[in-house]
Structure 1
């Protein structure tokens, strides 16, 4: 794969033994995602999808936290008329790419997965998490609504009550709970996460690529990808409306003032 043209300085992408590893590289900010990072994620994923040498895609994060969700300061400054916070923005474009990807996607989670750090897992094929990982969606506490299709996918995957724990009550799930509910596939000691992720990716990469692609397409058809994408776009519309609301602006301003102290 030719080196993708990335611009944020906070996303890395490299191919080794048929595995494309895309890494969130903003550990000093707990890998909080900016719009520029989403654009890079989409670019890297598209490059991997188009490259026949790439059999598996791995998404992971540097540091002690997988992803703290969206960068509040970045999204607080979004121009709502630009569409960047809605269905045409880089964040939702990346999620749609994940939802429609024919190649297996593995996500490795350490520390906390907040907001999109949790909901993007719904579009991975296999999630491997450290035993100390935690999962929290945060939307309700910011005055926002579910995104990434989570209002559709979470109840189907983990049940309505458990989905409401995440999306309405704002509970934090342990890795043990997440595994029991089916949000993650594997729970491993934190010290073994990197090695076990490499082993899993290598095992997938060695399997027949034609059968892998056909199997993923069948899985996606069974989950009705079209309905998922439609829900992603509905959520994005409401999310954008909420982002411009007085309630959300008040919450975000208070959050940013606390961070400056």
Structure 2
């Protein structure tokens, strides 16, 4: 477990909280590993009925650490990119417990794409959702190219994933991947209420019904693998390397 991730069990609810405020909860490899472990170990624990993923008040996550991305993009290694990130996505794909997301503030990149694996999403009025892969010369990940069109239609998914357009909280609710919009600072409190509501339902009926609603895990992992392969190729492309260098030049200026 990492100091940037807090995992607590509150009765039947496991709460996974990102805690790296100085970096807007940008996710490190250790954090990915910790989230995977928290999800995986919940699968064999009958006492855990529901999982909450939260970034705490003010920010959900800025996504991956872009410096790590630039390092990957300019390396000559053929090793699979960000293996812990892919492991986390596999954990989401195979997860059988309802997941509630509490999004307060920015959700960038995987901060948005992971939400398509969740079962109930709460957003604060200040929440924003963006997948700026295209601006970095990259492609979508997290099976979002499969799940986003299914959740909100091809046209909205194209605008978000290919054109890189951001959505506000109310826009995301209208698009269909946010359930409810609440006041800033209240997303986790409301998420716990939803989780308790889920936990009060018959466990087996919930599990079976959820499975009927979800795509088979093998469909998700197949798309995750396809995206990851293309993502890795794009990381080493001239387009992507130039985009990352331009980004860091602006950041240092």
Would the TM-score normalized by the shorter structure come out above 0.5? Answer: yes
Name 1:116's counterpart in structure 2.
110
CA distance in 2, matches of 1:192, 1:97: 27
CA distance in 2, matches of 1:179, 1:173: 9
CA distance in 2, matches of 1:193, 1:178: 15
Alignment of 1:112-261 (within 5 A): 112-220=106-214, 223-261=215-253
Deviation string for 1:168-209 (max 9, x for gaps)? 221111111111111111111224323211111111122222
Matched positions, count:
250
- Give the structure-2-normalised TM-score: 0.94
Gaps of 5+ in 2: none
Deviation string for 1:123-175 (max 9, x for gaps)? 00111111221111010011100001111111121111101110122111111
More displaced, 246-255 or 52-61? 246-255
In the alignment, structure 1 residue 64 sits paired with structure 2 residue 58:
yes
SS for the counterpart of 2:189 is helix
User: Are the equivalent residues in 1 in contact too, given 2:122–2:180 (CA < 8 A)?
Assistant: yes
Name 1:9's counterpart in structure 2.
3
- Give the structure-1-normalised TM-score: 0.91
Deviation string for 1:204-240 (max 9, x for gaps)? 12222222222222222xx343222211110000000
In the alignment, structure 1 residue 43 sits paired with structure 2 residue 25:
no
CA drift at 1:81: 2.5
CA distance in 1, matches of 2:96, 2:32: 20
Report the aligned-residue RMSD.
1.5
SS for the counterpart of 2:132 is coil
SS for the counterpart of 1:190 is coil
CA distance in 1, matches of 2:68, 2:55: 19
User: Are the equivalent residues in 1 in contact too, given 2:100–2:121 (CA < 8 A)?
Assistant: yes
CA distance in 1, matches of 2:190, 2:38: 23
CA 1:217–1:158 in structure 2 vs 1: closer, same or farther (change >3 Å)? same
SS for the counterpart of 1:81 is coil
CA drift at 1:108: 0.6
More displaced, 23-32 or 249-258? 249-258
CA drift at 1:63: 4.3
